[in-house]
């Protein structure tokens, strides 16, 4: 089966390789915050991803009180050329390749090199989940009367309903009966980039496998070959020939 990167107009916005891991001891905030020094000067741009949890307490005998708790979810280190983002968390590591995407081989080789540094720095012991996520942006011409002209998994509108498609959301969770790989597919419209002549569709494919592997060893990164194959099947079987023709031009 062909690979997305072989298409002249490969629609990949972001390709992400993710590893969830367990460690000999809890990873401190200081280790994650300082991981940029382990990556070196090529990853000098740091961002902190945080979450906020709110709490509202209502008591019959007193005024209501509200509180909020801020916690750090991950530290992100972006390469100076803007092509790579390393994400480190207390439960694992991820590497994103941003557009222009080159190849799966480049993504895997870079991830393997940087994962080695993360595993050593955090005393990673076991890998419990491996994942590949490809966020694609497929631009189709407007007006769109039937999205199924381009996507086999797209929503259908009754034939008797006059319409021009403006927006939609599709969420699919799939299991592969021949393997332990699971797939989550999300599709929607990139409304901010919609023009009178173009409808950009976000086609997000997340494939993953729950596993139990040593954090070090050849078996870990060989897992991603099967994930990539599954991702390619989902991608090419979800697009019609009309959609693929748009990506070949």
Mean pLDDT of the chain: 91
Confidence category of residue 98, pLDDT binned at 50, 70, 90? very high
Confidence category of residue 3, pLDDT binned at 50, 70, 90? low
Residue 226, φ and ψ in degrees, nearest 5: -65, -35
Q: 3-class secondary structure for the chain? A: CCCHHHCCCCCEEEEEEEEEEEECCCCCHHHHHCHHHHHCCCCCEEEEEEEEEEEEEEECCEEEEEEEEEEEEEEEEECCCCCEEEEEECCEEEEEEECCCCCHHHHHHHHHHHHHHHHHHHCEEEEEEEEEEEEEEEEEECCCCCHHHCECCCCCCCCCCCCCCCCCEEEEEEECCCCCCEEEEEEEECHHHCCCCEEEEEEEEEEEEEEEEECCCHHHHHHHHHHHHHHHHHHHHHECHHHHHHHHC
State mean pLDDT over 194-202: 94
Q: Per-residue pLDDT for 4 more than 70?
A: no
State mean pLDDT over 204-212: 97
Question: Cα–chain-centroid distance for residue 66?
Answer: 34
- pLDDT exceeding 90 applies to what percent of the chain? 73
State mean pLDDT over 28-32: 94
- pLDDT exceeding 70 applies to what percent of the chain? 97
Which pLDDT does position 207 carry in this prediction? 98
**Comparison of pLDDT for 238 and 155, the residue scoring more:** 238
At 184, list the tokens. 């989550």
Helices 104-122, 218-238: axis angle to 10 degrees equals: 140
State mean pLDDT over 10-30: 95
Which pLDDT does position 7 carry in this prediction? 84
Confidence category of residue 163, pLDDT binned at 50, 70, 90? low
State mean pLDDT over 171-181: 93
State mean pLDDT over 144-169: 81
Residue 88's contacts (CB-CB under 8 Å, 6 or more residues apart) are 32, 35, 74, 75, 77, 118
pLDDT tens-place string over residues 79-96? 999 999 999 999 999 999
């Amino acid at each position: 089966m062909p690979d997305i990167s072989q298409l002249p107009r490969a629609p990949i916005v972001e390709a992400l390789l993710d590893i969830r891991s367990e460690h000999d001891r809890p990873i401190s905030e200081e280790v994650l915050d300082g991981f940029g020094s382990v990556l070196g000067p090529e990853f000098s741009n740091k961002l902190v991803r945080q979450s906020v949890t709110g709490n509202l307490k209502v008591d019959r005998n007193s005024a209501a009180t509200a509180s909020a708790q801020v916690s750090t979810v991950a530290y992100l280190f972006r390469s100076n050329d803007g092509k790579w983002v390393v994400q480190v968390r207390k439960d694992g590591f991820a590497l994103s390749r941003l557009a222009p995407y080159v190849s799966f081989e480049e993504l895997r080789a870079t991830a393997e090199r940087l994962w080695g540094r993360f595993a050593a720095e955090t005393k990673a012991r076991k890998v419990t989940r491996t994942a590949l996520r490809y966020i694609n942006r497929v631009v189709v011409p407007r007006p769109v009367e039937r999205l199924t002209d381009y996507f086999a998994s797209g929503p259908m509108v009754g034939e008797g309903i006059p319409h021009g498609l403006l927006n939609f959301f599709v969420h699919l969770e799939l299991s592969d009966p021949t393997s332990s790989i699971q797939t989550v597919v999300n599709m929607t419209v990139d409304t901010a980039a919609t023009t009178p002549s173009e409808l950009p569709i976000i086609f997000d494919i997340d494939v993953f496998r729950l596993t139990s592997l040593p954090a070090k060893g050849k078996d870990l990164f060989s897992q991603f070959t099967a994930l990539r194959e599954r991702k390619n099947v989902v991608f090419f079987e979800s697009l019609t020939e009309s959609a693929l023709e748009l990506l070949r031009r």
